[in-house]
């Protein structure tokens, strides 16, 4: 028996259910339970009953239980990684499914360790502390299903809330598996995962029992959640779509930055909200940067993630394959230069789209202006830095961005002019459980991670006098 099979057996529907398929082969991995709004109502009642006792445990005991939950995840880490690979597609190795399974336990431990107590308000006798919201509802994405689920439920639980979560209908088994593992140590009712489609998601966001909603996904769906929840005014954290720009200055060593540039764009086959999705390169180093990137791309091995030697896997859904294919074909038709890739086998099984670099592209092409969320990077030539910054800021997205330079001080100065929640210097897309993360403009609002992330899933209380 493969290591994942026992874990899978614990979470699949006992009969019927929604099929979850392997994006590398199209074969069914398992059937997820098809939960209903009635199941949601039962989960809410259970959460309401469990939450006061969970809150009463206090920070120290809740942190201890989150540590124990991390131990449970670590004990089944390989099984969880294999299941993520089979359902989502990312490779086991490198920054893939083993990394994601490790991030689940890592984020649980980091969240448990963050100190947060009563804080004095400077120059006054007042203090501020943070109380549980009560019930937190969360909806997760399909690109990093287990890791991002943990970003949502771990801080919410740490702050004394009960959590009801709906994963993406494309990757429910991975999140159900995380719940199976952590619920081996958590009290009954404080964390529930329900799998289902849009009807279930709409029921969750419209349910007035939730004092806080968390969502990671598209800007369009985020706007729908704002509208659906407006009647009962829950607090919201929305981490929405990004079209992250990178600006390369003329002083760089192209060979030195190529590896980090490539993985900043192609991590998880480009299916990451904070991936580098459009690259602006100064004309003095343009051809050298393009060539260095092509050398890295040509060495990357794409194939089924379950095969250890592969570093790039398939796109998770056929719909995403079609989006990337459409945008690249439009760029080719416009006269843009294909450096590498752009020739998928559309009839082959699996959603494999080759790592693609598109140079000499008009900055008004859809591949630049729309979030491709896949392995196709447009590389735009610029001559004037102010123009490059203007292009970087022109879109209604602002999740991440990056500046690449041999002079980090100069890069930081430029970073202050870019409209994004995070601007990285000589790196892109790296996250840390202690460093706050969130977007601006159409990329959403609210912060996750660190002390600010804990405060975001709590209610501030000021005592004055």
Strand partners, 429: none
C-alpha to C-alpha distance for 105 and 147, rounded to whole angstroms:
9
Q: Which residues contact 27 (CB under 8 A, 6 or more apart)?
A: 21
Q: Which residues contact 348 (CB under 8 A, 6 or more apart)?
A: none
Q: What are phi and psi of 307, to 5 degrees?
A: -90, 120
Whether residue 191 contacts residue 44, with contact meaning beta carbons closer than 8 Å, is answered with no
* H or E stretch covering 36: none
Neighbour count for residue 464 (Cβ, 10 Å)? 9
Strand partners, 382: 282
Sign of the dihedral defined by the CA atoms of residues 11, 208, 134, 52, in that order: negative
Vertex 220: Cα angle to 354 and 387 (nearest 5): 65
Q: Count H helices and E strands in the chain, helices first.
A: 16, 18
Task: Report in angstroms the alpha-carbon separations of 211 from 120, 229, 438.
Answer: 26, 10, 20
Q: What are phi and psi of 334, to 5 degrees?
A: -80, -10
Whether residue 402 contacts residue 424, with contact meaning beta carbons closer than 8 Å, is answered with yes
DSSP conformation letters of 245-292: EEEE-TT--HHHHHHHHHHHHHGGGG--TTSEEEEEEETTTHHHHHHH
Give me the residue label for tokens 């030539």: 381
Nearest alpha-carbon partner for 163 in 461, 457, 450: 457
Q: How far is CA 312 from the centre of its chain?
A: 17
Active centre residues (catalytic)? 239, 273
Nearest alpha-carbon partner for 222 in 440, 371, 442, 37: 442
Tokens of 5: 């099979």
Nearest alpha-carbon partner for 374 in 423, 317, 422: 317
C-alpha to C-alpha distance for 134 and 138, rounded to whole angstroms:
13
C-alpha to C-alpha distance for 99 and 104, rounded to whole angstroms:
9
Whether residue 460 contacts residue 130, with contact meaning beta carbons closer than 8 Å, is answered with yes
């Amino acid at each position: 028996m493969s290591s994942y099979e026992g874990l899978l057996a614990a979470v699949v529907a006992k009969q019927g259910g929604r099929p979850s398929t392997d994006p590398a082969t199209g074969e069914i991995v398992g059937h997820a339970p098809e939960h209903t709004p009635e199941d949601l109502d039962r989960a809410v009642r259970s959460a309401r009953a469990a939450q006061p006792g969970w809150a009463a445990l206090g920070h120290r005991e809740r942190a201890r239980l989150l540590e124990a939950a991390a131990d449970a995840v670590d004990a089944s880490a390989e099984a969880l990684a294999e299941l993520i690979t089979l359902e989502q597609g990312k490779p086991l190795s490198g920054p893939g499914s083993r990394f994601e399974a490790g991030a689940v336990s890592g984020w649980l431990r980091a969240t448990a360790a963050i100190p947060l107590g009563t804080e004095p308000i400077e120059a006054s006798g007042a203090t501020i502390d943070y109380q549980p919201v009560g019930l937190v509802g969360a909806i997760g994405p399909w690109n990093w299903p287990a890791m991002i689920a943990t970003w949502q439920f771990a801080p919410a639980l740490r702050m004394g809330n009960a959590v009801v979560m709906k994963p993406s209908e494309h990757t429910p088994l991975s999140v159900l598996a995380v719940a199976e593992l952590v619920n081996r140590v958590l009290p009954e009712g404080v964390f529930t995962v329900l799998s289902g489609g849009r009807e279930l998601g709409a029921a969750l966001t419209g349910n007035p029992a939730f004092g806080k909603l968390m969502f990671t996904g598209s800007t369009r769906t985020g706007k729908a959640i704002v509208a659906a929840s407006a009647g009962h005014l829950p607090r919201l954290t929305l981490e929405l779509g990004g079209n992250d720009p990178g600006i390369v200055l003329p002083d760089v060593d192209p060979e030195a930055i190529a590896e980090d540039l490539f993985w900043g764009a192609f991590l998880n086959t480009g299916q990451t909200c904070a991936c580098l999705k459009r690259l602006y390169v100064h004309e003095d180093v343009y051809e050298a940067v393009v060539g260095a990137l092509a050398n890295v791309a040509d060495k990357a091995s794409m194939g089924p993630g379950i095969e250890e030697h592969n570093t790039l896997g398939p796109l998770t859904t056929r719909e995403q394959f079609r989006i990337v294919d459409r945008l690249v074909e439009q760029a080719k038709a416009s006269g843009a230069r294909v450096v590498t890739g752009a020739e998928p086998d559309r009839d082959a099984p699996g959603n494999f789209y080759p790592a693609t670099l598109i140079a000499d592209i008009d900055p008004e092409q859809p591949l630049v202006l729309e979030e491709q969320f896949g392995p196709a990077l447009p590389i735009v030539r610029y001559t004037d830095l102010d123009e490059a910054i203007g292009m970087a800021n022109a879109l209604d997205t602002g999740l991440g961005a990056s500046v690449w330079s041999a002079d980090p001080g100069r890069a930081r100065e430029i970073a202050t002019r870019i409209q994004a929640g995070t601007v990285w210097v000589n790196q892109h897309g790296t996250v840390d459980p202690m460093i706050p993360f969130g977007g601006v403009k159409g990329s959403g609002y609210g912060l996750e991670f660190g002390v600010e992330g804990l405060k975001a899933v709590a209610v501030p209380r000021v005592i004055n006098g």
